[in-house]
């Protein structure tokens, strides 16, 4: 059985003057998935979402959102979607609560108490005037607004931008709950680790094109991490013998400064577990594992995409 698609695009294109912001995007997002779009600045993520929401019209190609063409879906389609725009402009003397009431009036059914429950979870005061809210608090209000009516589809443009780590964790919990309820989530980020925590599937966008679509599990297998470990009581020879046995290790460099410590720097491709187990045999004075680098991972996926 094939799952119904929440989102589908075929050869979607959008040009701004000479800029091809979207250059033939083909995507299929099954209903009920948490689908992430990653890509560097200017890749076209915001443009894609704005076309899907009919904020702007495509120059070419087709899009279907919850089975409808966004250009003709109108308010009935819009009510089934929760949208967090990339650049959220919230100004004025209206309170967060009044603004949410206004949105609730447009979007239809909202469970009583939903706004307060969501605001409390994200740590947002709904009685403040929106114009006085900090960037992070505006982002929280944007999230409450998107989740408020439990829409079938959530389209979230860089949802964690401006949120502190604790609020980010709460947001991830909201996403999991949305997925468990069967809602579809389409979110963008330029942080790979965030997509990995939140999403089941990921598309990599670059220069307006989908470079590859992958499950997050598959992506994890190809993740690159840079590791620097300072080890004590071991010779370079001894360390080299053990470290070269780590699966996925490359670019190993050993330097004996400052003595008596030995600094080992290397790259791990794929699971990190073998590395952790190998290092456990040493006295580890320092350990730095850098997040998988988006650019490197994207390049790798790009390469895989070409050879597939």
Ligand X SMILES: Nc1ncnc2c1ncn2[C@@H]1O[C@H](COP(=O)(O)OP(=O)(O)OP(=O)(O)O)[C@@H](O)[C@H]1O
Asked if 295 interacts with ligand X (CB under 6 A), we say no
Q: Which is nearer to ligand X, 53 or 124 (CB)?
A: 53
Query: DSSP labels for 238-281?
Result: HHHHHHTTSTTEEEEEEE--STT-EEEEEEEES-SHHHHHHHTT
Q: Which is nearer to ligand X, 48 or 115 (CB)?
A: 48
Asked if 47 interacts with ligand X (CB under 6 A), we say yes
| Residue among 298, 300, 291 at smallest CA distance from 193 | 291
Quickly count: other Cβ atoms within 10 Å of residue 105's Cβ.
Answer: 9
First CA to last CA distance, the chain: 25
Asked if 39 interacts with ligand X (CB under 6 A), we say yes
Residue 111, burial from CB neighbour count under 10 angstroms (0-12, 13-18, 19+): exposed
Find where tokens 């590859």 sit.
212
Asked if 133 interacts with ligand X (CB under 6 A), we say no
Asked if 16 interacts with ligand X (CB under 6 A), we say yes
Asked if 53 interacts with ligand X (CB under 6 A), we say no
Asked if 46 interacts with ligand X (CB under 6 A), we say yes
The contact pattern for ligand X, residues 76-95, with x = CB under 6 A and - = no contact, is ----------x---------
| Residue among 2, 1, 3, 12 at smallest CA distance from 203 | 12
Asked if 161 interacts with ligand X (CB under 6 A), we say no
By CB under 6 A, what part of segment 169-228 binds ligand X? 190
Binding site for ligand X (CB under 6 A): 16, 19, 21, 39, 41-47, 86, 190
């Amino acid at each position: 059985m094939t799952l119904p698609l929440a989102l589908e695009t075929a050869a979607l294109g959008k040009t701004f003057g000479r800029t091809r912001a979207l250059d033939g995007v083909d995507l299929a997002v099954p209903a009920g998935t948490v689908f992430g779009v990653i890509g560097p600045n200017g890749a076209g993520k915001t443009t894609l979402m704005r076309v899907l929401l009919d904020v702007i019209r495509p120059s070419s190609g087709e899009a279907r959102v919850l089975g409808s063409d966004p250009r003709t879906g109108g308010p009935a389609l819009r009510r089934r979607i929760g949208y967090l725009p990339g650049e959220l402009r919230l100004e004025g003397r209206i309170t967060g609560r009044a603004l949410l009431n206004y949105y609730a009036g447009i979007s239809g059914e909202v469970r009583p108490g939903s706004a307060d429950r969501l605001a409390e979870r994200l740590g947002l005061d709904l009685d403040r005037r929106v114009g006085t809210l900090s960037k992070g608090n505006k982002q929280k209000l944007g999230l409450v607004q998107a989740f408020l009516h439990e829409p079938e589809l959530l389209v979230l443009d860089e949802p964690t931008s401006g949120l502190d780590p604790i609020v980010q964790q709460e947001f991830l919990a909201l996403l999991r709950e949305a997925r468990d309820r069967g809602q579809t989530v389409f979110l963008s980020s330029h942080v790979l680790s965030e997509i990995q925590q939140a999403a089941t599937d990921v598309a990599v966008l670059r220069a307006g094109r989908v470079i590859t679509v992958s499950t997050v599990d598959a992506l994890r297998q190809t993740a690159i991490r840079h590791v620097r470990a300072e080890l004590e009581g071991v010779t370079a020879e001894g360390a080299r013998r053990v470290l070269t046995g780590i699966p996925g290790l490359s670019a190993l460099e050993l330097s004996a400064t400052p003595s008596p410590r030995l600094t080992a720097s290397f790259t791990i491709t794929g699971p990190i577990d073998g590395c952790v187990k190998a290092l456990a045999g040493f006295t580890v004075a320092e350990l730095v594992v850098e997040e998988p680098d988006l650019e490197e991972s994207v390049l790798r996926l790009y390469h895989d995409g070409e050879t597939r």
